[in-house]
Amino acid sequence: MPTEQLNYWFPLLTDNSPFLFAVLDQDHNYLVVNNRYCEVSGLRRDELIGRNDKEILGQAYYNSLRPYYERAFSGESVEGEVVLDDNRHDTSMHFSLSPLRNRSDDIQHIVLHSADTSERQVLVNTIEELENQLYQLNELISDGICIVESNTVINANAAAATLLGFESSKELLGEDLGRLLIDSHSQRILGEQLHQQPKSGPRKCHTSPRCCSERPLLVSTSEITLLGSRATIVMLKDASEHVVQQGQIEHLVHTDPLTGLYNRHGFSRRLEQLIANETPLVMLYLDIDNFKNINDSLGHHIGDRVLQEISQRLRRLLPENAILGHLGGDEFGVLIPDPEHDRTGDLISEQIIALVNQPFDLHHFSKHLACSIGMVTSPGNGNDARILLQNADTAMYEAKNRGRNRLVKFSEAMNKEARMRLWLEIELQKALQNNKLEVWYQPKVNARDFAINGAEALVRWKHPVEGYISPAQFIPVAERSGLIEQVGRVVMREVFTTVRRWKQQGIFPGRVAINLSPQQFGNPNLISFVEKLQKSIGVNANDITFELTESAVMSDGEHTIQMLNGIKKLGFALSIDDFGTGYSSLSYLARFPLDELKIDRAFINDIDSVPKQVTLIENIINLGKALNMSIVAEGVETHQQATLLSNLNCDYIQGFHFYRPLPKNELEAILVKNSRRKD
């Protein structure tokens, strides 16, 4: 990235952070730093450029990080923690380093992010209070607690002494705890096995003859570090009174009450256990596509029924060793330990997608659903539960971006794409706040005389640094982030205002088409917004067409009919965009109050090379006309295509052969010029 761009966005993204961010050159000098460096050093940003850690943060800090700098310049992405224990520092620093490659793939700079992770001083001030609280808690708890080092009890509470048959906790000190317990399964003294916690949970034991009385116990262990040495906390429970209650509590804490599956906490805990045991696994992260429409249109009680049905279907489908969780909302997680082969995740994902695609019986009608799945593996895609879940979530959203109802496997490149999407989202929010979006217009022409007769409104975004950003990049980000409705309202307001002025001047024939996203169309408040905007601006509804995709109008039959009728009642025309690429059913053309049909460019592209395509286009045109719809062909790029469409009785043509999308002022100049010719 050019230095001037780096100097622009680096402070913008990092100056409000409490952490240190810097870009270093090959001599480990600062190329650019964030405001935190200025606060730490007391120097201005320009005074810091060209300096290094030795001058600003001290030799010890630099010596600790220098080996990691060198690794980053060799191409590694490094993350770690260092402890600084010199006269200047008494803290620990967590850091991450990433190489920056130029267009020649050389590494000339690295990015540093570091944060003070120490709370040592706070801990020192509160340690006595915490020790007192822990002592009281230890004595009040009904379970026996022992701290064991090299099998010797070095601390115990009163409950442990009682359970093991000793009169006081002091009598337990120095005892070999492993010789006081017998494994109920093997009937042998635990001894050194005391520290080996079984995978199935607490170990069933009973007290040995060395204790004053025999008592069944449940024994759990947990490793700790005590004053730099390894020790073990041993918890003893009275198995004769054992608490069915404990199992109930565990069940409530880790289970989702709606579906009976693991909740996010319980699912994460099982994932952590598998990782700790170094068990190879595949994890699938599922999201039900467009599930919000069910809750909004049919009610949450119907949505809950769908989630329960999905849970039951997944239970029946998955292998016995699979672990299934409802992670919240419409998201599910699947863990497959010890997969049989490399294709296990792919095959199960295909089965899940087919299962979710089967119709659901909802409130007197049947509905088809789809799901997007992200897949990760361990080892390979992360070394702890949090990172694995995050990476699986990233892959799932990538599946949505690629068209939904599919599986996508995680790759490191997705993290870079996710960071780019976050940057685009932040910048798009600024553009909306500062009114920086533009509306361009692509004229469509009459197929008889090729004169302008209408246009399609298209949103454009010129970033102050990056220049024009493709709609293919920022529209998906707007849809995913929920900004698409704001974008749609900006476009609608601009088009209404412009069309009213052009019509008053008498320079614009035909209608202007505005694209409605599925999110806009799915919002019941759309009708009232359009009505209020029309009245406030004074545009004639006959001069506007709203365009929708086939997938948008087919997602929910009842809601679709209500919305389409509401738009028609206001006097606006309705068009189906990209016809022929969505649903194969044509019944909606007759059921819905549509005025216009746009033939997708995919048909036009092949018109010269695929002879049957001409027959198909002719049939689409005849079908539309039989239903009293006007026909628009888009993507026309040659005179031969335009002539053929004209001969097939197409009504309107849109494409680069006639006009590319134009800024408002350029189209206005053409319209004024054409108007003068007519005069």
Q: With left for phi above 0 and alpha for psi between -120 and 50, is residue 122 left, alpha or beta?
A: alpha
- 586, pLDDT greater than 70: no
DSSP string, 291-333: THHHHHHH-HHHHHHHHHHHHHHHHHHS-TT-EEEEEETTEEE
- Kindly report the three-state secondary structure assignment for every residue of 57-123: CCHHHHHHHHHHHHHHHCCCCEEEEEEECCCCCCEEEEEEEEEEECCCCCEEEEEEEEEECCCHHHH
The residue extents of the domains of the chain are 3-122, 142-239, 246-410, 444-673
Class of domain 246-410: alpha beta
Rounded to whole angstroms, the Cα distance separating 602 from 389 reads 38
Rounded to whole angstroms, the Cα distance separating 679 from 674 reads 9
- 285, pLDDT greater than 90: yes
State the first-to-last Cα distance of the chain, in angstroms, to the nearest integer. Answer: 53
Rounded to whole angstroms, the Cα distance separating 335 from 59 reads 47
Residue with the two structure tokens 């007769």: 453
Rounded to whole angstroms, the Cα distance separating 477 from 463 reads 15
Percent of the chain with pLDDT over 70: 90
Rounded to whole angstroms, the Cα distance separating 657 from 655 reads 5
What are the tens digits of pLDDT across the range 534-551?
A: 999 999 999 999 998 877
Summarize the confidence of residues 410-434 as an average pLDDT. Answer: 84
- 658, pLDDT greater than 90: yes
**Fold (topology level) of 3-122:** Beta-Lactamase (3.30.450)
Q: What is the pLDDT of residue 584?
A: 45
Percent of the chain with pLDDT over 90: 37
Q: What is the mean pLDDT of the chain?
A: 85
Q: 82-96, 113-127, 487-501, 512-526 — which is least confidently predicted?
A: 113-127
Please state the φ and ψ torsions of residue 409, each to the nearest 5 degrees: -90, 140
Architecture of domain 444-673: Alpha-Beta Barrel (3.20)
Choosing among 3.30.450.20, 3.10.20.30, 1.10.15.40, 3.40.50.720, the CATH entry for 142-239 is: 3.30.450.20
DSSP string, 495-544: HHHHHHHHHHHT---S-EEEE--HHHHH-TTHHHHHHHHHHHHT--GGGE
Return the DSSP state at 235: E
- 242, pLDDT greater than 60: no
Q: Do residues 510 and 551 touch, judged by C-beta distance below 8 A?
A: no
Summarize the confidence of residues 612-629 as an average pLDDT. Answer: 89
- 123, pLDDT greater than 60: no
Model confidence band, residue 121 (pLDDT cutoffs 50, 70, 90):
very low
Same fold? 246-410, 444-673: no
Summarize the confidence of residues 385-412 as an average pLDDT. Answer: 86
Q: What is the pLDDT of residue 437?
A: 94
Q: 208-222, 410-424, 623-637 — which is least confidently predicted?
A: 410-424
Return the DSSP state at 18: S
Give the Cβ contact number of residue 452 at 10 Å.
19
